């Protein structure tokens, strides 16, 4: 019985992407034309019809669908990005420049490993550049021999966009290493107590991953409001980062404009997947209000409004991105 469970678990290790249908824009609104996951899939593994289907035999697990989906429909299983940042920050206490590696190439040097780097959206990279105290090296030395090698160019483009659209010193904080001779790797040294603690944590990590339930993440109600991790990361960056955040707000946030044709039917509130719209009291009546920190710019409210009373513009130029207005 145990042997069967182990074999089944091992045979499903390639099934690394979880899907929550309720987060898909096209599942929420049949007139939505969002096709980011399909457009970016190099192997035609994603299909959206009456449901979302990933052809597992074709999927290369490059994780691009995870990073490009605006609403968080796709998720990398067994990947906790907040925990990853925490572990990398702890590594800075022992080494000057931690190395992040890929799970597929355990033979390559790394202090921490994760799924294919395709899951690193611009939002993830911004968070790494802000929250990491030192320089982070991403070990890409094995990508040239991988069928997901195109991710290297994707990462370069994303980092270039960040440098162009923000004042962050992202090239100094995030180093993409393609040549093994340019990788600066330091072993983390442990005292006796630290050594046995590290072994204990490593053993627990492998055990929990090996016997992990391989079912997709539990679907949510279509009425549930939830912001994807990408938006949450940027909100944390805005709250944490000192100084001028104008460039981040201008290039990664949105503004919803509501004109006089709005009849306060408030149907758009139910359509919004993140809770960026809500009803507020205004004098003797009620009106629609908007919070940019919760908005992902998906356009469902704009497309759903039968009065064409809603429009979305890129950029936030208000006073407080975390308040409804």
Residue 17, H or E segment: strand 17-19
Residue 34, C-beta contacts closer than 8 angstroms, at least 6 positions apart: 24, 25, 26, 70, 298
Q: pLDDT band at 193, cuts 50/70/90? A: low
Asked if residue 192 has pLDDT above 80, the reply is no
Asked if 67 contacts 121 with a C-beta cutoff of 8 angstroms, the reply is yes
Domain stops at, among 74, 91, 117: 74
Residue 97 lies inside a defined structural domain of this protein: yes
Identify whether residues 115 and 47 lie together within a single domain. no
Identify whether residues 115 and 130 lie together within a single domain. yes
Residue 47 lies inside a defined structural domain of this protein: yes
Identify whether residues 92 and 177 lie together within a single domain. yes
Q: What's the domain count of the chain?
A: 3
Identify whether residues 35 and 111 lie together within a single domain. no
Kindly state the percentage of the chain with pLDDT values over 70.
86
Asked if 309 contacts 253 with a C-beta cutoff of 8 angstroms, the reply is no
CB atoms within 10 A of CB 293: 21
The total number of residues written for the chain in this structure: 325
Q: pLDDT band at 196, cuts 50/70/90? A: low
The range of the structural domain enclosing residue 308 comes to: 242-314
Average pLDDT of span 184-211: 55
- For residue 127, give Cα distances in angstroms to 62, 168, 178, 291, 323: 21, 11, 22, 21, 22
Q: What is the pTM of this model?
A: 0.86
Q: How do residues 238-263 score in pLDDT, each as one tens digit? A: 999 888 899 999 999 999 999 999 99
Q: Which of 317, 220, 315 is nearest to 274 (CA)?
A: 220
Specify the DSSP class assigned to residue 111: S
Identify whether residues 191 and 141 lie together within a single domain. yes
Task: Please name the residue that has the structure tokens 């990947």.
Answer: 79
Kindly state the percentage of the chain with pLDDT values over 90.
74
Task: Please name the residue that has the structure tokens 């190099």.
Answer: 42
Task: Please name the residue that has the structure tokens 């090698």.
Answer: 149
Residue 142 lies inside a defined structural domain of this protein: yes
Identify whether residues 87 and 61 lie together within a single domain. no
């Amino acid at each position: 019985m145990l042997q069967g469970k182990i074999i089944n678990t091992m045979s499903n290790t390639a099934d690394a992407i979880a899907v929550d249908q309720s987060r898909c824009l096209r599942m929420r609104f049949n007139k939505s034309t969002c096709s980011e996951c399909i457009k970016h899939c190099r192997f035609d593994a994603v299909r959206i019809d009456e449901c979302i289907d990933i052809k597992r035999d074709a999927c290369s697990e490059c994780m691009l669908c995870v990073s490009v989906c605006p609403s968080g429909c796709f998720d990398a299983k067994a990947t906790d990005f907040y925990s990853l940042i925490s572990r990398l920050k702890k590594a800075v206490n022992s080494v000057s420049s931690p190395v992040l590696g890929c799970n597929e190439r355990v033979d390559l040097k790394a202090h921490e490993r994760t799924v294919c780097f395709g899951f690193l959206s611009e939002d993830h990279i911004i968070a790494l550049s802000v929250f990491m105290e030192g320089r982070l090296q991403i070990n890409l030395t094995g990508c040239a021999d991988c069928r997901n090698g195109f991710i290297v160019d994707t990462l370069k483009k994303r980092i270039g966009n960040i440098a162009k659209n923000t004042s962050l010193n992202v090239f100094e904080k995030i180093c993409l290493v393609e040549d093994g001779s340019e990788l600066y790797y330091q072993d983390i040294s442990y005292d006796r107590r630290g050594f046995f603690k590290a072994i204990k944590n490593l053993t627990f990590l492998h055990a929990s991953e090996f016997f992990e339930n391989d079912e997709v993440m539990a679907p949510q109600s279509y009425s549930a409001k939830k912001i994807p991790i990408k938006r949450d990361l940027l909100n944390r960056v805005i709250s944490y980062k000192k100084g001028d955040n104008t460039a981040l707000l201008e290039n990664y946030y949105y503004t919803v404009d509501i004109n006089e044709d709005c009849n306060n039917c408030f149907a758009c509130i139910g359509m919004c997947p993140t809770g960026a719209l809500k009803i507020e009291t205004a004098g003797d009546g009620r009106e629609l209000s908007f919070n940019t920190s919760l908005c992902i710019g998906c356009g469902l409210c704009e497309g759903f409004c039968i009065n064409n009373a809603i429009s979305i513009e890129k950029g936030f130029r208000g006073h407080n991105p975390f308040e409804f207005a």
